[in-house]
Structure 1
Amino acid sequence: MLPSPLTTWVQEQLGTAVAAQRPVGGGCIHRAWALELADGRRLFAKTNDARHLPLLDAEADGLTALATAAAGDPVVPRPLHWGERGGQALLLLEWLPLARSPGGSWWALGASLARLHRRSLEQSDGRFGWHRDNVIGAGPQPNGWRLRWGAFFAEQRLGTQLAWAARSGRRLEGAEALLEQVPQWLEGHGAQPCLVHGDLWSGNAALLEDGRGALFDPAVYRGDREVDLAMARLFGGFPEAFFTGYAATWPLPEGHQRRVELYNLYHLLNHANLFGGSYWSQSQQSLQRLLRRPPLG
């Protein structure tokens, strides 16, 4: 059954009762629910222990920013309410009617992401980072502002993950050498501080029943747009049409393929710190490959 604090909370916030509810898949951190309201609306809810409220607060902040920049293209579910009630953390979102069979266009979703990235620059002040720290999965994601992308990625992304690993007794060979080179590697291709999804693996995007594409579960910040395209190739990856649609709308700069592994090392390290196992060997191997390559540009 649905936790009673959520039932009461929905009634108070929306002024209508929950007529039906069922558990649905919503990731490995929170419990997720499909809600049918007495007024006919359908909503999506996440619940967890109250101590996890900062995770849901960060998600709500990221979704709000992404939805504002997207302006419906692509679709991003807006958070309706979030908070703590009866010892539980609660987040209420717009419902996304996901397609049960292919009928939309991954090409169009890629094009939509390109438009979102480009449109988001209209509100940029030229810095990389975000107004608050948030999370990447269940891992901490610091977002201190930096004027230079290379410094931001070295310090706030790879540096924090490698320091986390070291505190756990996992010192990766070559880590210091890599961090020294990253700023120079990333200064030559004109990175701009786009609003990025930040956690764009295939489980955080979908096609809807009406054919449109949707993005959700972000870890937003202002960074090089290439980080979203790089992660979209990790953990199974998106259909190739997604990348074709993006490139047709806003082509990536020369050499972007060579930066994919560097950007995805961040996510491998995060998975290693969170889950351990073979992610440690994958991270070490990736790090060594990067150090053996000619300088990135």
Structure 2
Amino acid sequence: MKRTSLQTASPLWTTIVAQISQFTRSPFIPESLIPIGGGCINQTFCIRDCERRYCIKLNAASGLAMFEAEAAGLEAILDSASLRAPRPLCFGSNPDHAWLVLEFIDLHNRGNAAALGIGLANMHRHTAEAFGWVRDNTIGSTLQKNAVSSNWISFWRQYRLGYQLALARKNGYTGSLQSLGERLLSEFQHFFTDTPPPPSLLHGDLWGGNYAFDPDGQPVIFDPAVYYGDRETDLAMTELFGGFPPDFYAAYRDIWQVDAGYAARKQLYNLYHILNHLNLFGSQYLGQAETIMKKLLSELG
């Protein structure tokens, strides 16, 4: 990757470097600033001195709340002592930018998929008294509402599918999508058993791009959209874009089998992410969303 000259970088980096020094209580004198990519949401850099490296995520100033929530989510995962995640150091903003400073972890390694399955199952064993979370966060760049609820079906109806369908309507997706959505919202409780799921600690956005392995081959998860909910939502998303390695699923199920009816519920749970992609990226996801809805409604009879 091309190295950026710190001498010619904007005052933004002077502010970030000063904040790193403040939070580490040790002068940080950077030697290099290297772009390391990032998705469609943030820019990401590695900044380093002679001994230390940090990952910096940048966005517009309006992204500060997103970074605050991400830091809180990473802390929640770390507090569960189940899986490694980048430890947040600090975050901040100026009139133009917001940033999040994270522990840098070399993620270009092969590793143990079974350990990921074990770690996720153990993370899901950390439960709360209710569904939701202490704050809202984002799924991609979309607001994710996490109001606390004692009823999982109501939570999913209002704050997941209902929210995304309302956003789709605002974005101009009416007609069949909305009529199918209304039918599904009124009937999908039939996919659930009489025993509600426990409110498990969730990553919330667990696709193949949000895990990797450290130099010791141990799994690392990142870019979370944390809340407490049905653990099957995390498992469902692992299957959405190609699936995780077989060892992951085998190891998870050795600890905690999925419940009856998961095959149908995973379509319901993944519909949330497909609708979010529709709202973020456009109509190429419209047909997929409608197909999932029709399939689910056909199973209800």
Matched residue, 2:39: 27
Q: Does 1:85 align with 2:94?
A: yes
Match of 1:139 among 128, 142, 151: 142
* Matched pairs, number: 286
Matched residue, 1:56: 67
Q: 1:178, 1:287 within 8 Å by CA — same for their partners in 2?
A: yes
Deviates more, 1:85-94 or 1:41-50: 85-94
Task: Sort the Cα spacing of 1:208 and 1:13 in 2 relative to 1 into closer, same or farther, 3 A.
Answer: closer
Matched residue, 2:24: none
Task: Give the whole-Å Cα distance in 2 for the aligned partners of 1:189 and 1:211.
Answer: 37
Once the two structures are TM-superposed, the CA of residue 189 in structure 1 deviates from its matched residue by: 4.7
Aligned CA-pair RMSD:
1.6
Once the two structures are TM-superposed, the CA of residue 181 in structure 1 deviates from its matched residue by: 1.2
Match of 1:220 among 226, 250, 267: 226
Q: 1:150, 1:185 within 8 Å by CA — same for their partners in 2?
A: no
Matched residue, 1:163: 166
Once the two structures are TM-superposed, the CA of residue 233 in structure 1 deviates from its matched residue by: 0.5
Task: Give the whole-Å Cα distance in 2 for the aligned partners of 1:92 and 1:131.
Answer: 22
Q: Does 1:18 align with 2:21?
A: no
Once the two structures are TM-superposed, the CA of residue 111 in structure 1 deviates from its matched residue by: 0.7
Task: Sort the Cα spacing of 1:189 and 1:96 in 2 relative to 1 into closer, same or farther, 3 A.
Answer: farther
Task: Give the whole-Å Cα distance in 2 for the aligned partners of 1:114 and 1:4.
Answer: 44
Task: Give the whole-Å Cα distance in 2 for the aligned partners of 1:204 and 1:12.
Answer: 27
Equivalent AA in structure 1 for residue 136 of structure 2: D
TM-score normalized with structure 2 length: 0.90
Matched residue, 1:37: 49
Task: Within 5 Å, give how 1:191-230 maps onto structure 2.
Answer: 191-230=197-236
Match of 2:124 among 117, 122, 134: 117
Deviates more, 1:140-149 or 1:167-176: 167-176
Percent sequence identity over aligned pairs: 41
Which runs of at least 4 in structure 1 moved beyond 6 Å after TM superposition? Answer: none
Q: 2:56, 2:102 within 8 Å by CA — same for their partners in 1?
A: yes
Deviates more, 1:224-233 or 1:7-16: 7-16
Task: Give the whole-Å Cα distance in 2 for the aligned partners of 1:112 and 1:150.
Answer: 26
TM-score normalized with structure 1 length: 0.91
Task: Give the whole-Å Cα distance in 1 for the aligned partners of 2:186 and 2:83.
Answer: 37
Once the two structures are TM-superposed, the CA of residue 229 in structure 1 deviates from its matched residue by: 0.3
Q: 2:152, 2:196 within 8 Å by CA — same for their partners in 1?
A: no
Task: Give the whole-Å Cα distance in 2 for the aligned partners of 1:266 and 1:283.
Answer: 9
Task: Give the whole-Å Cα distance in 2 for the aligned partners of 1:60 and 1:12.
Answer: 16
Q: 2:89, 2:103 within 8 Å by CA — same for their partners in 1?
A: yes
